[in-house]
Structures are given as structure tokens and as C-alpha cells.
Amino acid sequence: MKRDFLTLWDLSTKEIEYLIERALQLKSGKDVNKCPLLGKSIGLLFEKPSTRTRISFEVGIYQLGGQAIYLTSKDLQMGRGESIADTAKVLSRYLSAMIIRTYKHSTLEEFAIHFSHPVINGLSDSHHPCQALADLMTIYESKGRLKGVNLTYIGDGNNVANSLVEASAKTGINLSLACPEGFEPSHYILKRAKDFISERGEGKISLLRDPSEAATMADVLYTDVWVSMGQEENTEEKKSKLKGYQLNSDLLKYAKKDVIVLHCLPAHRGEEITDEVIDGENSLVLQQAENRLHTEKALLEFLLK
């Protein structure tokens, strides 16, 4: 039976733990001669431009022995009105999996219904689960655990924040979110995560307004851009409301001394994060970016085994 990866809910806690362990093995060079994707072609359908998502997947597919085919909607008849369903059914005859980076999450869901093989969410306006897997791996590398780690997210409650909510619920991380009113993560996602935590009995999620309160005793401080791609309307008004939510050296003082700083990139330096923090000794941002490659290789291997 085919498996899709559209959100973190598509994986069990044990499967997430397995993927992190496998990604660590792949990063160490173990099984470098195995080619589980040999003879397989993987499509990358991108409606949004990308640096890390595109390159990490293309390199990962190559290293696993497969062929990556990069596509945009303009390259396909979808750009001339062919339905998502018809496109997905045809591409099922050629490709072994599809990675989609799109605007509407419903595009992914509809494509997955009609595509016969795994569909992976390379980013949508609602979720960024591949980024969350790399985040979890980076936290585990630094802290040696996930359960009980205090993670603080500062800023806009966007797709990255939504996936961090889901990732935290699945792994027992204590997540504090500091977002201004009106810029919280999805209320539906928050409720589902809190219900899951209540049943599981591990971890907690707190929504706060004060960044310094959220950052107190944090093991991990995380932020993202204030204005996401494709959501540029009312940019200046949004930035003014987020002005007090910058990850800077003053905020770093509230966290633990060995706190790590994460940012999914690209960063708008001087807005959501300062140079001294993103380039500082607490920053694992480049390690986090590298881990996209290793977690995505583990994910592809898992879904296509």
C-alpha cells in the first residue's frame, strides 16, 4: 500500500524516530553503496522557487541511485488547464514518487488521491513537514533526545510553525510559541496536537504573546521569516506587528546557556533574526540546512522500500 507524506500526522512516533536514526546513519556514511532508488524516476513539481528543498531532494535522489525530474506547472499541461487528477494519473505511469512544492495544501491532497505512488509535501502554505524532520534531527544531534526538550518558536505562526506543532506533539517536545495576536498557528492544528498530547501524556504546547517569557529556559530557539512566499499582502503592516518578535542577543539571554538557534532559511537578516545570532556560536542553522538532505534520503528510502 502506498504511503504519502503530506503532514507529520502521516507518520507514527516510532516511524519518526526510525527516520531520524536512519538519517544519522546516512549522514555518517553508512550504507553509502546502497542504491534503493536505482531505476526509479522521481518527479519534483514546484510552483514555488526553492534553494534547499530542490537541491537537497535532487542530490539525495541521485545519491540513492535514482533520477530526479524537475518540473514547474508551466512545463506541464496543467499550465494550460489540464486537471490535477488527469495529470496525476498520467504521471503515475512514468514516475515512482512525486515531490510537490505548492501554495494550496488542497493541491497536494487532490494530487495524492489520483497518483498511484508516494506523494511528498515539499512545502505548502499550511505545512512544511520535510523541514520539521530536519529540525528534529538537528535537535536530537545537539541534545541527545527529543522528549522533554524545551523548544521556543518566535514570530509568525506560519507553515513551519504548524509543522513544529505537529512534530512536538509526536515526539514529546515542550513547545512554546510566541506570536502576536492574529498571527498564531492554525487553531485546528493546535487543537489536534493538544488532543494527541492529552491522550499520549507527554509534552506540552503553550501559546504566548511575550517572546521573553517563551524563551525562558529554552533549549532551542527557532524563528522564520515574517512574510512567507506568496503571502506578501499587507507586508509593512505585518512587519510592524512582528517588530517585537526578533530573535536577537537580548532574547538569547533568557534561554539556557547551551541553547541552540535554528532558522529554516532563507533569513531576512535584521528582521526576524540578527546577524550576531544567526552567525553566533549557538547557531546550528547550517547544520540544520544540511540535515534536509539526510532526512529526505531516509524518507525516500522508507516510502519507496
Q: Which residues form the catalytic set?
A: 101, 128, 131, 224, 264, 292
Grid cell at residue 98: 512525486
How many alpha carbons fall within 13 Å on the CB side of residue 208? Answer: 18
Q: Which residues have CB under 8 Å from 114's CB, separation 6+? A: 84, 85, 88, 89, 92
d(CA 284, CA 278): 8
User: CB pairs under 8 A, 24+ apart, for 12-18?
Assistant: 12/170, 13/170, 13/171, 15/302, 16/133, 16/136, 16/167, 16/170, 16/171, 17/171, 18/302
Q: What is the 3-state secondary structure (H, E, C) of 29-47?
A: CCCCCCCCCCCCEEEEEEC
What torsion do the CA atoms of 89, 73, 103, 127 make, to the nearest 10 degrees? 60
Grid cell at residue 203: 509534552
Eight-state DSSP code of residue 241: H
Eight-state DSSP code of residue 246: -
